A and B are shown apart, each in its own frame.
Chain A
Amino acid sequence: MNWLTWLSDFFSDPEQHSGPNSIAHRVWEHLLFSGEALLYATVLAVPLGLLIGYTGRGVTAVTAFAGAARALPTLGLVTLTVLLAGVNDTAALVPLVALAAPPLLVAAVEGVRGTDPDVRDAARGVGLTHPQVLWQVCLPSAAPTLLAGFRTATVQVIATATVAAYVGLGGLGRYVIDGLATRRYAVTAGGALLVVLLAVGAQLLFSLLSRYALPPGARPGRRGR
């Protein structure tokens, strides 16, 4: 029952109720980092991925690059960025963007390439321009794949943003790292639980989105992937 004791200790400790170390503030910091990182990653990766998927040029190169980028260790990027750029939000953003961009890039490429070629040809045949085909035909049919990519990226970013605390940045990682340093296990456990809850919450959000926000033809069926 220790887990429950630690968690109740953590959530009832007044130190976590107000000020910069309050749970609300740390959750907010965590979401802010994660959201910003996802935003930048989207702007960088999605248009590029759509274009590459549409033209079919450089797909192999992009897949290889994305694979290599996934291997970049967050701890390494975060320490390097702090040494080069100082302790500020950039130091947390760079590695998180590097983490989120590859799955988004691959999802965009795969999604567009997954469009039925006959449909694309038909769209060209009725006189749509290339940008129109990409926007009106390929993008909707790529939406489920893209959304799955966003889901992966979001969960990874939320879980990994924890490491930013090592270099003195905020977010829920503070609880994990400070708890370890001061041997207050309740704090580490509480921080970890909050991260998990955020990640699970994000997953639920994405299953809702894929259920309701997608174009009707692209909603996942019984065995949608």
Chain B
Amino acid sequence: MDDEPIVRWYWIGDHLGYLGHLLADHALLALPPVLIGLLIALPLGLACSRFPRLYQPLSAVLNVVYAVPSLAVFVVLIPYTGLATEASVMVPLTFYALAVLLPTTVDGLRAVPEAVRQAATAMGYGPWRRLAAVELPAAVPYLVAGLRVAAVASISLASVGALIGRGGLGYLFIDGFQRTFPTPIVAGIVLIAALALVVDLVLVGARRLLAPWAVREKGAGS
């Protein structure tokens, strides 16, 4: 280790294709669970905002899920999802995403002032139209905030999957560690942070498109 430089630049140059392949694999492992989590969180959040009694036990369960160490979940699920398969990593990540997204969805749906809701009803909006035209748009800033947290966490956590044989860029950590070779580890950390940054920027851009008012509101904050 003493003579080993932190980064052997030539290794990075020689492995651009390999790193690109791992990066794509990592994105495919980490991001679909966030989308699936959102697809589950929306109806579930809706149910929770309609039936508040549902929310507390559900969020307590998800709080517990969030506290389970990711590695343990990966291990627990191996018999159902197989070792070193996509599912063995993606199923747990979906639960983590859901644990983040459900509270933000509920907060978002609750964010509409009661007066506005009543006004929409008074204007003859049915529950579905009110949902689509008033409540969901109002929830967008909350949803995007939740998605940002969930996406970054998912990208970071997916690497732990390397310990059960499927972790995208996480493989670089194990490989580098076993060969006392910091270069792949550094490359993996940088690429994971970069991927998270790009996804974050995309989400911020999406919020500006979908809910331009939210940006102004934040920009003019105290």
Contact = CB atoms under 8 A, between A and B. Distances in A.
B200 A67 contact: yes
Nearest to A155: B67
A27 to B, nearest CB: 14
Nearest to B149: A70
B192 interface: yes
Interface in B159-214: 159-160, 162-164, 169-170, 172-174, 176-177, 180-182, 185-186, 188-189, 192-193, 195-197, 200
A200 interface: yes
Contact of A80 (B63, B149, B152, B182): B182
B69 interface: yes
Interface stretch (A41-49, A128-136, A158-166, A212-220): A158-166
A175 B70 CA distance: 14
B159 A75 contact: yes
A155 B66 contact: yes
Contacts of B172: 76
A75 B180 contact: no
A51 B200 CA distance: 26
Interface stretch (B11-19, B35-43, B71-79, B133-141): B71-79
Given A71-B152, A73-B173, A180 B75 contact: yes
B72 A71 contact: no
A77 interface: yes
Contact of A191 (B72, B156, B163): B72
- Of B152, B153, B176, B181, most buried by chain A (CB within 10 Å of CB) is B152
B1 to A, nearest CB: 6
A72 B170 CA distance: 11
A71 B63 CA distance: 20
Contact of B64 (A70, A82, A188, A200): A200
A196 B192 contact: no
B56 interface: no
Contacts of A176: 69, 71-72, 75
A50 interface: no
Given A67-B200, A68-B197, A84 B68 contact: no
B189 A77 contact: yes
B148 A195 contact: no
Contacts of A82: 177
Contacts of A73: 156-157, 159-160, 169-170, 173, 188-189, 192
B209 to A, nearest CB: 20
Contacts, number: 134
Given A83-B1, A176-B75, A71 B197 contact: yes
Contacts of A80: 173, 176, 182, 185-186, 189
Nearest to A73: B159
B19 to A, nearest CB: 14
B155 interface: yes
Nearest to A197: B67
B67 A158 contact: yes
Contacts of B107: 225
Contacts of B6: 84
Interface in B47-72: 63-64, 66-72
A96 interface: no
Contact of A195 (B63, B67, B75, B157): B67
Nearest to A79: B177
A108 interface: no
B182 A196 contact: no
Interface string A82-125: 11100000000000000000000000000001000100000000
Nearest to B200: A67
22 contacts: A72-B156, A73-B157, A75-B163, A76-B185, A76-B192, A77-B189, A83-B4, A83-B176, A83-B177, A84-B6, A117-B222, A155-B67, A159-B66, A159-B67, A159-B69, A162-B71, A163-B71, A177-B163, A180-B75, A191-B72, A192-B73, A203-B67
